[in-house]
Structure 1
């Protein structure tokens, strides 16, 4: 891919502060874009106000700046694009590709997260109901630049999935597909926890006539108790005074091999080295890495 055509992005959710796992994903996406001479955009995925931590958006931006990340263009917030999501959802609903679902969580217990289709042909009104997308009985597959070939049968392994919640909030799957296309994203670099979301996004891209980016899913950082580093488990936020050692750790987690003399380097020097020497083929293929092994 030539330099001028690469457009990457980092898209944090303000349900908490950035942690070391976030840093690994941000660094991978940043270095992949900058090494290619491309753009690196920043998008705030603030679709869920009840879960948003007050002050998290500002804290995320401040942390990225403190750690030396520089993004291109203006910050985009998903909360400013609700009309776009509404229009596309209405299109899918009017074409019969989506339908209203009134199922409660209790009704869906025992189905292992795979929707059994109770409301598929019920003809419920869309008001005060979730909206689900009909999925085909087909295998969707793609080649991930790190994880290799990934396949998923949407009907058997996922079922019809929600694109607007009962409370009226738009689902991640719909918003991310529309935003990536609108921003011209050519390469999505993100955590491996979203690997199994990708076939759903491929299907939405197909339905909406959108281009499909390349994908690279980096390993998740697992805490000693077995949980992935994340906001759900109150992982410690990135400290502002530890940018250099944590960037060095993140480079090593991504399989890069910074020389010993960079141990005391400033954040900017580490990023400059990473941009010049970035090699995505060195990223560990395992979808998880133990945090303890990275210290």
Structure 2
């Protein structure tokens, strides 16, 4: 069999591929007589001189063929985006709807987003009905002790605030100190955790405690109790405002208090409590639970 090189420009007019013959209503009657390199493969060529007409089909057969083709396309058409995709990319849903892989992933993602937002909003709604307190701590470091604690109520009134002299002094190179600015000199005459532990316990016991990153504040309370040789605080009910807010924003990562509240804070305990209250109130406003005009005077 002859191999024609140099591309299609060197192919005689009487030589055609099967596809070319089909387009003029013909089909090969024998073996290919030559082949030409198309750029990525060798294409077989047939002589039109010995080609024969294709069998004609009846109008009824043509109608059936067109219906079959239309059905094949419909079976591969996504009912969500109307795109025609391959058969392997179509998912048949309950009820017979056909969804392409991309749309199915997108719909799942949308459902997850709605679920996250709903869960976050539900948490803020629950807090609207509760008599909670907000707690914040400043610490020696991420694994250390409390050096400042503040507790406010839902109106913004401060119920408790104190600096706390830690068992172990604040490290000179503490990143936490760079953030909140509390030094050992300021803590020298402050009460110890052992001095204030019972007061804190009395305020918190039996109440809903909200904190921005509740897991961290609870850990710091436990560390301070352990290092002071005091019993850990019991009968505490914690909830995390940071987690609830993250859900309302459909975020997989934590969001800073400054970003969530829209307030630049000095990272001091009472101020951070007030910023946390701002996050809560802003969500209540968005949910229509309180007017947009601020109802409590907080700094």
TM-score w.r.t. structure 1 length? 0.29
For the pair shown, which has the larger CA radius of gyration, 1 or 2? 2
Structure ranking higher on relative contact order (CA contacts 8 Å, 6+ apart): 1
TM-score w.r.t. structure 2 length? 0.29
